[in-house]
Structure 1
Amino acid sequence: MTRPVIVGMSCRLPGGVDSPESLWAALYEGADLITDPSDEHPHQREDVLPGGLLDDADMALDADHFGLSPLETRTLDPQQALLLEGVDEALQDAGIAPGELRRTPVGVWVGSSCLDQSITHLGTDHGGTMVETAGALPSMLAGRLARTFDLRGAAEVVNTACSASLVALHRAHQALLLGEVDTAVVAGVQHLGLDTHTRMFRNSGTYSPTGRCRPFDVDADGFVRGEGVAVLVLTTAERAAATGTRVRAELLGSHTNADGFVPHGLASPSRAAQTDLLRHVYERSGVDPYAVGYVHAHGTATRAGDAAESMALANVMGRGRAEDERLVVGSVKANLGHLEGAAGVVSVVSTVLAMEHGHVPPTPHHAEPLPRMAELGLEVATAPRPWPGPPERRRLAGVSAFGFGGTNAHVILALPETAPRGAVSGEQAAEPVARLLPVSAGGPAPLAETAGRWAEHLRGAPETAWEAIARTAATGRDHLAQRAAVVAEDPAGAAAALEALAGGRGHPALIPPRRTPERPPRVVFLFPGHGSHSPGMGELLAEREPVYAAALQKARAALQAHRPQTPLGEADLRAVQPAAVAHQVALSALLADWGIRPDAVVGHSLGEAAAAHVAGALSLEDTARLVAERSALLAESAALGGMLATDLDADRAAAAARASGTSLAAVNGPASTVLSGTHGALTALREHLEAHHPRARCWEVDQAPPAHSPLLDAAADRLAAALGELAPGASAVPMVSTATGAGIGGAELTGAYWGRQLRAPVQLAEAVAAATGDPGASAVLVEVSARSVLAPALTDDVLACADEAYDEHTALLRLAGGLYARGVPRAWDRARPAAAVPLPARAWARPSDRPDPAERGDDLARRRAELEAAADEAQRRDVLARALQAWVAEQVPGQAGAEPVGLDSDLAALGLGSLVLMGLRTRLHQLTGEPVEIADFYGEAGVATLGAVLAHRSR
């Protein structure tokens, strides 16, 4: 049977509460989070005080993250802003990357009874645009979320007054049980923008004259209002288990009903209806109401409301309980005020936290219970107390909400019977293992703040949680533009690196932060040749990475079949070079498993064999044959001479070669060349350079035969003949030949080519330039080998699979971290632990460069004056064009510094959505005074160009 569960929660509430953790701290302390009126420091919303209010910073929005233009943001309902960030944070808490839910059957249910934004922006005398309408309509509370996160399940707003969000939870519960959705987002939100309802409550006598809510107290005199947002993410227990999603609470039952006719009138609660509700939900769920230890009551602290609720609870759950097992009731309204439509979900979040921590929080301001409370089997906690009942009993709780008009709701919650929150499955490794921890945000400041939050969280985390922490960061978060990474062996090491990131300092475990380009960079795999071998290479990788081990074993078997008399790894070219290629092939397989694949490949000398295989042109069998034949011929030729590496440029190296009787064997970079020749000629050349050019450095290439020189003419012919039956195929990945410095097709990699390649000088610098493409384009070179031998010759931005400062596994993780920071897509390991660990929510960017309304008015007036002063049609068009250029730059992030918007610019290509186009229509109308039809922006082929719009409007 399907069992819906709560897997994620978030909240932003009065008193600086910005997470479930900070909410629990406030609840446990019994904190009073109500703001009082003050004559000395009047609040800007004094007319709704006393009340639980958010600060201005709490209602800020990272508009760029959600793709909202300034035009939309200016008139956006603060409730929509709170919901956007709240839903993202709840998904983070669930360990679900929001991007993974796009185009999937995820339902959205939002409970809200607040109409302040609608009243403000959609009044009869407003005459606003569709932009204001979308920002103020109550229906858009759910619609905005579904559109922004691209969710394809139901998107519904529920307004049953004060029970709205708990009714929304019931609807989501039913949708999950029926299989209508895989995942559900349930939210409650409220913003006190007007005093309309506050005055109504005061006039009706339900607003507390003392400014505090005292549920079930003899001195209860009503409630005060509050605002904020709370969000739940639900799925099924089966789906949570399959995806490794942490379960915070199980939803055992839910039900709603209505009061029906009540003799005392519309505003009077029905004790009978509430009793029926409770009796029905517990009977249908099969839960014994007397096993419930705590009920988060509606608790409005009105005489009629508390009396009806306490009697209904007594009728079904309270009467007959032993004195030491009374049903504990309470309400967060005493801390925060009444959030009306949002109250139900806030109550659920509070209750789940209480179950997780095993304590019932106190209800502040409660001094003397209503008469007969004890007789009814009920009590209110006035101090933190352990969860009621024996410790071995499962923690069960109920949550109630009752709406003005008579819609009632109740849900039953349970703490999961399986692993407790934060537990991690799997055994701890025998020794510390390095992990990659990615971290990202929308900009440098929020990245630093996020790193600080994570550092504090990781500082006390157990080593056994390290794998789960790293995986949660990788798979449970969207990866934003500003990125960094940490490679560490335990949480403490990661915390130190994150602290450095937060403080703007470097750290050995930290991959420095970078801004990723708008488009992923072009990735070029660079395979070095002789000298890339390292003793013991691959041993640690084979222990820790099964994909690498399998690929290495397969490559070694293919190579060994051609040279069985020479075990791979011995100090012999016939063994060393095949071993190096096998390592390169296996590394490439591991990188591919990580989702890191090349857009082009380049191979230096021997490295071209691995490059051809990774490109898909040579089978593993043909690659093994090529490497075996080539290395054997080079081993035979070692006595003919050697190689000398220098820091000379290509022209000086060529001149030195002509003068010394040697050959220019390789041009690796602007100041990196290699010469081949006899040992005597190379010795003489070295002595000459040291004597006459003391600034020139040169060194012998260890155990290198005189490759890429005339000394190997005979060997090159023999290699071509030996590989005469080689059968290359078409390349799947573009390959650039270092023998020619240009691209080469797979079919060209015949035996004849490999003969020429052994003899021809290596044009590495030219080949790399061709592989990376346009110099202005973003590209990254990845040196695939056990030792980094080519990076210094090319650029400081070459990433290598090996680094002498780290073991080979750590070095490879650092490579992956460097690619991540540069924006290279990564296929993260989705095999998460059975109980993923929580991580603090990412910090939001808070842009401060939004245009001031007064400045916008001045700009419009100035442009209108310019238009009136235009002498002719050409000047008029110029004024309109410059105005639209400025408006487009304001609406499209990044456009201000981009190329000017021309009259032939396609509006859709500029990123202008329908609402922004409507805004531009309004601006044109305000500027010209002419009626502008929205159809002016659309042509037969779609969105028109600016020129077409201007031509129509400037007639």
Structure 2
Amino acid sequence: MPDGADGGVPHATGPGTGPTHPPRDPAQPYDDRTKPVPHTTQPGEDEAPAVHDTSAPPDEEFPEFPAVAVIGMAGRFPGADDLDAFWENLAAGRESVRPVTDEEFLAAGGDPRDLDDPSLIRLASVVEGIDRFDSGFFGYSPAEAAVVDPQQRLLLETAYHALEDAGCLGGDRTGEAFGVYAGAGDSRYYPAHVYPRFAGQPGSVALVHAATANSLGTLATRLSYELGLTGPSVSLQTACSTALVAVHTACQDLLDHRCDTALAAAVSLNPSAVLGYRHVPDGPFSPDGHCRAFAADAAGTSSGDGVGAVVLKRLEDALADGDRVHAVIRGSAVNNDGRRKVGFSAPSAAGQTEVILAAQAQAEVDAGTIGLIEAHGTATKLGDPIEVSALTEAFRHSTRRTGFCALGSVKTNIGHLGAAAGIAGLIKAVLALEHRQIPPSLHFDRPNPLIDFDASPFRVPTALEEWPASGHPRRAAVSAFGIGGTNAHVVLEEAPPTASDAPRPPEDGCRLVLPLSARTAGALRGQADALARHLERRPGLRLDDVAHSLRTDRPALRHRLTVTAATREEALDALRSAPPGPPPADDPVRVAFLLPGGGTQYPGMGAELYRDHTVYRDTVDECARVLRPVLGADVRTALFEERHPDDTAAFLGLVVTEYALARTLVESGVRPDALIGHSLGEYTAACLAGVIDLDDMLPLVTERIRLISSAGGATVGVAAPAEEIEPLLDDTLSLAAVNGPNACTVAGHLEAVTRFEDRLTRRGVPFRRLRIPVAAHSHVLDPVLPAYETHLGQVTLRPPRLPYVTNVTGTWVTDAQATSVRHWLDHTRNTVRFTDGIAALWDRLHPVLVEIGPGDTLTKLATARLADEAPVTVTTMRHAKADASDGFVLAEALGRLWSAGVDGALPPVPGAPRRVPLPPYAFERRRHWIDAPGAHTGTDDAPATQDAVPALAPGPG
């Protein structure tokens, strides 16, 4: 939006823009409660420092006002690939300007004759790896990526990270007006690197494409397009104030409801930075590459690279949405110097004073409450004194205090980022508010003699300072002044306290699933490593908060893995050793429940789930109610107290366990597409499929178990193919089950089974007698089948609502079979065709195989049958001999299902977890670069390849 017509009327945003807050005279003093007050201090008098009540209640400290919340931030600056490293550098007073080696200089095309030229300043403040980009993540071919200005590429990645930090990627943004306001320096990549490739192709499609990919006009629209943001999309350029003008414009559009959320960002990258610059006496650049803002020996600025982005939202909306607020923008203003200065590139004290007063007025804060000014601070002899003079004049409208406000410039750490300077200063100020510390300004030994600090409100901190609380919120302000006179000023305030800041009890040590995802397998490994480093850096982070934030603030991408942990130490170990997740499926993931038969049960199975999981407990209780009349006892006693794993109640306990576990998974979001049971497990499958009601199924199974037990006999498991075993059987033995390529069971009367085992021993065939003294699925049951037929005739059988594979045929059950008494008699008497059933299941669905019951017997059998297919298998309950707890096994199962692509499988995080910072996405960057003529990088690390646009493919290196 245009500035005032005369260049002196500021364009400001903040509470004063609303209809209930009429504009005020910027020169009118005011107190911190937003009411104009007379200024009674006379010139020359000292104003006593205010005494603030630090015990004031939150609603007094933070009155309600229309303002803008910073809810997300990201950046890459010299010496810092993320904001954690950036703050560490700032707090440590670390400068990121570094020497350029001879090798770097020459590789970039530098003239060897310049190596000994003392006027050539070979220091650089650069973002490392600007030639690298995760092209695949954003859908670019290597050749397409190579022609795009690295400013646009890095800004795209940084914008994504900022949206991550704001939690804007984990949900649906349909209908949300999300604005983008971005600026950059002129592309230095296009003229030196890209254009020479097409110099002989004027008007060609390739040249037009390359020019578009390096145009400042496409900066914001590229972000909107790639990130799916549908609000206003505006590219801005006001020279060195670009970034802060972008923030100001975003704030205005938010407060005017032109958008609901906004991304404000800026970038400045110089691909030729390592070539240095030639120092000119009395020029704007430092003679030694260091920036000494406000110091007596200040002699100019130095250039730097950087990219930063913030995500903004109206404060009331951010608080209502539960967003994590980094800081609050109370007000901002923009103006222009007009002709009130000695030259186009010169600063104007009047213009700066006016924009600062306007921002303070819109923020409705007293200058005496501002504890930090992040200044433009370019360390020029003319600019610094004018800036401090303008600040002092603005502050003197509301305070006579001296030396109370820290004055700093991030340029002393990283150099002057040009168009991105304001975003670096803004992020520094926000981090200072968050950490409640004021970082030092570097290279300040003695003050500039043209600056009267003793009479000003300002002091330059030279060491890290704690920022104590006062009777008002901590506040900071940021300035940026562009060549040509567009000035911007922003007033910030620390985030208001919320209910989520209240103390809470310690974590209860429950098992938590931490979900990670990425678009490539390599990036997924990077995600795990990044989260491990994040937890190490922040020992105070609660694991439940991290698990919650991973669910709510991160999208579920194609490649996934989960780790399960109860403590930070367990999480660190698991993240470092986490195996790759299952390969992502090309089609929607299907799930099959595998329900085991008798023999897998053990005393105490599911006891922890019964104690800790409501759905599981309620289901077991319901089953116990149904079984009490027919069993004459409480099945829960057999499940959790008695030690008789082979009696009727124990077998019923297995059915109850499977049914309760299946219901628990369904309620957790894991709905099966198909089922297959093994022997007794097929009854559980039929009940889940709707063939038999639970009230009928449990009594029916009770009679089945009793009748089979009364028939006696024995069963032996044989580790050999059924085809090799069948010739050894006579009419005293039956092939009871074909479980796998090298697994079957044989049943008969005890004497016949004993003789058979002797024959197996002589032949060297491995076998194992099943501990249950029955001969299910054999001729031994023939005498009891009529009685069982009577019981079958008393239950209602319905067609299945969910497909399942039957043991009788080894293929999908038909409606006629499921509702036939004869079929269920055959199921009891005939051979279990489990291996055929697994093949039928796989041929139709290729599902994830989930064992619903103790151990992993069926998934092992299925894996043996599908050895060439590598199915994804999941166990949901511990084996009898396993040390892991039921809760851990179930949590890991749900995590593995989510990793396999079952989106609804993640278990919720208990309690009231809060959103916390997470590490940014671990982009899998590769080199995509067109070398400038004469440059030779000497690298062969993943060069951009000739792909979609052959003429645009980068050169060697």
Of 701, 705, 716, 1:630 maps to 701
SS in 1 for 2:443: coil
Report the counterpart of residue 931 of structure 1 in structure 2.
Answer: none
Looking at structure 2, the residues matched to 852 and 553 of structure 1 have their Cα atoms a distance apart, in angstroms, of 72
How far does the alpha carbon of each residue in 1:599-640 deviate from its partner, in whole angstroms, 9 at most, with x for none?
32211122123323444x347xx1341232122232133121
Of 449, 455, 458, 1:378 maps to 458
Q: How big is the shift at 1:190?
A: 0.9
SS in 2 for 1:42: helix
Report the counterpart of residue 597 of structure 1 in structure 2.
Answer: 671
Looking at structure 1, the residues matched to 913 and 847 of structure 2 have their Cα atoms a distance apart, in angstroms, of 38
Of 623, 626, 643, 2:715 maps to 643
Which structure has the highest helix share of the two?
A: 1
How far does the alpha carbon of each residue in 1:815-837 deviate from its partner, in whole angstroms, 9 at most, with x for none?
23433444443444576955323
Q: Does the C-alpha gap of structure 1 residues 462 and 71 become closer, same or farther in structure 2, counting only changes over 3 Å?
A: closer
Looking at structure 1, the residues matched to 499 and 279 of structure 2 have their Cα atoms a distance apart, in angstroms, of 43
Q: Structure 1 residue 539 and structure 2 residue 603: aligned? A: no
Q: How big is the shift at 1:224?
A: 1.8
Report the counterpart of residue 682 of structure 2 in structure 1.
Answer: 608
Deviates more, 1:225-234 or 1:256-265: 256-265
Looking at structure 1, the residues matched to 129 and 606 of structure 2 have their Cα atoms a distance apart, in angstroms, of 52
Name which structure has the greater RCO, CA cutoff 8 Å, separation 6+. Answer: 2
Q: Structure 1 residue 19 and structure 2 residue 82: aligned? A: yes
Q: Structure 1 residue 172 and structure 2 residue 250: aligned? A: yes
SS in 1 for 2:213: helix
How far does the alpha carbon of each residue in 1:535-593 deviate from its partner, in whole angstroms, 9 at most, with x for none?
22333223433343444444554555765655445357553344323322332233334
Report the counterpart of residue 805 of structure 2 in structure 1.
Answer: 736
Which amino acid counterpart does residue 469 of structure 1 have in structure 2? V
Of 134, 139, 153, 1:81 maps to 153
Which residues of 2 match residues 24-35 of structure 1 at below 5 A? 24-35=87-98
Report the counterpart of residue 358 of structure 1 in structure 2.
Answer: 436
- The answer (yes or no) to whether the contact 1:676–1:709 under 8 Å persists in 2 is yes
Report the counterpart of residue 278 of structure 1 in structure 2.
Answer: 356
Deviates more, 1:36-45 or 1:845-854: 845-854
Q: Does the C-alpha gap of structure 1 residues 552 and 254 become closer, same or farther in structure 2, counting only changes over 3 Å?
A: farther
SS in 2 for 1:374: helix
Report the counterpart of residue 680 of structure 1 in structure 2.
Answer: 751
SS in 1 for 2:810: coil
Q: Structure 1 residue 61 and structure 2 residue 133: aligned? A: yes
Which residues of 2 match residues 218-297 of structure 1 at below 5 A? 218-237=296-315, 240-241=318-319, 244-297=322-375
Question: TM (normalized to structure 1)?
Answer: 0.80
Q: How big is the shift at 1:667?
A: 1.0
How far does the alpha carbon of each residue in 1:786-824 deviate from its partner, in whole angstroms, 9 at most, with x for none?
333323333276321123231111112222343344444
Q: Does the C-alpha gap of structure 1 residues 42 and 174 become closer, same or farther in structure 2, counting only changes over 3 Å?
A: same
Question: TM (normalized to structure 2)?
Answer: 0.80
Report the counterpart of residue 569 of structure 2 in structure 1.
Answer: 492
SS in 2 for 1:230: strand
Which residues of 2 match residues 146-225 of structure 1 at below 5 A? 146-193=224-271, 205-225=283-303
Q: Structure 1 residue 9 and structure 2 residue 73: aligned? A: yes
Report the counterpart of residue 898 of structure 1 in structure 2.
Answer: none
Looking at structure 1, the residues matched to 613 and 209 of structure 2 have their Cα atoms a distance apart, in angstroms, of 53
Q: Structure 1 residue 801 and structure 2 residue 876: aligned? A: yes
Report the counterpart of residue 497 of structure 2 in structure 1.
Answer: 418
Looking at structure 2, the residues matched to 849 and 205 of structure 1 have their Cα atoms a distance apart, in angstroms, of 35
SS in 1 for 2:542: helix
Q: Does the C-alpha gap of structure 1 residues 170 and 712 become closer, same or farther in structure 2, counting only changes over 3 Å?
A: farther
Looking at structure 2, the residues matched to 284 and 439 of structure 1 have their Cα atoms a distance apart, in angstroms, of 43
Q: How big is the shift at 1:97?
A: 4.1
Looking at structure 2, the residues matched to 240 and 592 of structure 1 have their Cα atoms a distance apart, in angstroms, of 34
Q: Does the C-alpha gap of structure 1 residues 212 and 853 become closer, same or farther in structure 2, counting only changes over 3 Å?
A: closer
Unaligned runs of 5+ in 1: 502-509, 855-887, 892-915, 925-955
How far does the alpha carbon of each residue in 1:521-547 deviate from its partner, in whole angstroms, 9 at most, with x for none?
543221112123332233322343334
Q: Structure 1 residue 761 and structure 2 residue 831: aligned? A: yes
Q: How big is the shift at 1:492?
A: 0.9
Looking at structure 2, the residues matched to 171 and 551 of structure 1 have their Cα atoms a distance apart, in angstroms, of 57
How far does the alpha carbon of each residue in 1:349-386 deviate from its partner, in whole angstroms, 9 at most, with x for none?
11122122222111112233242122121121122222
Q: Structure 1 residue 749 and structure 2 residue 814: aligned? A: no
- The answer (yes or no) to whether the contact 1:37–1:46 under 8 Å persists in 2 is no
Q: How big is the shift at 1:491?
A: 0.5
Q: Structure 1 residue 327 and structure 2 residue 405: aligned? A: yes
Which amino acid counterpart does residue 71 of structure 1 have in structure 2? A
Which amino acid counterpart does residue 737 of structure 2 have in structure 1? A
| Percent identity between the two aligned chains | 30
Q: Does the C-alpha gap of structure 1 residues 729 and 62 become closer, same or farther in structure 2, counting only changes over 3 Å?
A: farther
Which amino acid counterpart does residue 108 of structure 1 have in structure 2? V
Report the counterpart of residue 929 of structure 1 in structure 2.
Answer: none
Q: Does the C-alpha gap of structure 1 residues 772 and 238 become closer, same or farther in structure 2, counting only changes over 3 Å?
A: farther
- The answer (yes or no) to whether the contact 1:719–1:751 under 8 Å persists in 2 is no
- The answer (yes or no) to whether the contact 2:132–2:927 under 8 Å persists in 1 is no
Of 477, 480, 483, 1:404 maps to 483
Which residues of 2 match residues 640-679 of structure 1 at below 5 A? 640-641=711-712, 642-656=714-728, 658-659=729-730, 661-679=732-750
Q: Does the C-alpha gap of structure 1 residues 697 and 195 become closer, same or farther in structure 2, counting only changes over 3 Å?
A: closer
- The answer (yes or no) to whether the contact 2:402–2:458 under 8 Å persists in 1 is no
Of 221, 231, 236, 1:143 maps to 221
SS in 2 for 1:659: coil
Looking at structure 2, the residues matched to 236 and 739 of structure 1 have their Cα atoms a distance apart, in angstroms, of 64
Looking at structure 2, the residues matched to 2 and 681 of structure 1 have their Cα atoms a distance apart, in angstroms, of 88
Looking at structure 1, the residues matched to 89 and 952 of structure 2 have their Cα atoms a distance apart, in angstroms, of 47
How far does the alpha carbon of each residue in 1:268-315 deviate from its partner, in whole angstroms, 9 at most, with x for none?
333333222222222222222211100111222234432332223212
- The answer (yes or no) to whether the contact 2:683–2:701 under 8 Å persists in 1 is no
Report the counterpart of residue 846 of structure 1 in structure 2.
Answer: 925
Report the counterpart of residue 591 of structure 2 in structure 1.
Answer: 523
SS in 2 for 1:801: strand
Q: Does the C-alpha gap of structure 1 residues 849 and 171 become closer, same or farther in structure 2, counting only changes over 3 Å?
A: closer
Which amino acid counterpart does residue 352 of structure 2 have in structure 1? Q
- The answer (yes or no) to whether the contact 1:736–1:767 under 8 Å persists in 2 is yes
Looking at structure 2, the residues matched to 686 and 549 of structure 1 have their Cα atoms a distance apart, in angstroms, of 42
Which amino acid counterpart does residue 656 of structure 2 have in structure 1? A
Report the counterpart of residue 841 of structure 2 in structure 1.
Answer: 771
- The answer (yes or no) to whether the contact 2:165–2:918 under 8 Å persists in 1 is yes
Looking at structure 1, the residues matched to 652 and 327 of structure 2 have their Cα atoms a distance apart, in angstroms, of 56
Deviates more, 1:554-563 or 1:59-68: 554-563
- The answer (yes or no) to whether the contact 1:9–1:349 under 8 Å persists in 2 is yes
Deviates more, 1:129-138 or 1:377-386: 129-138
SS in 2 for 1:595: coil
Looking at structure 2, the residues matched to 114 and 791 of structure 1 have their Cα atoms a distance apart, in angstroms, of 60
Q: Does the C-alpha gap of structure 1 residues 596 and 36 become closer, same or farther in structure 2, counting only changes over 3 Å?
A: same
Deviates more, 1:105-114 or 1:411-420: 411-420
Which amino acid counterpart does residue 837 of structure 1 have in structure 2? V
How far does the alpha carbon of each residue in 1:466-517 deviate from its partner, in whole angstroms, 9 at most, with x for none?
2122333344334555544322220012212333x3xxxxxxxx45555434
Looking at structure 1, the residues matched to 741 and 172 of structure 2 have their Cα atoms a distance apart, in angstroms, of 45
Q: Structure 1 residue 469 and structure 2 residue 541: aligned? A: no
How far does the alpha carbon of each residue in 1:116-136 deviate from its partner, in whole angstroms, 9 at most, with x for none?
345454698754525424421
- The answer (yes or no) to whether the contact 1:162–1:402 under 8 Å persists in 2 is yes
Looking at structure 2, the residues matched to 438 and 679 of structure 1 have their Cα atoms a distance apart, in angstroms, of 51
Report the counterpart of residue 880 of structure 1 in structure 2.
Answer: none
SS in 1 for 2:877: coil
- The answer (yes or no) to whether the contact 1:569–1:579 under 8 Å persists in 2 is no
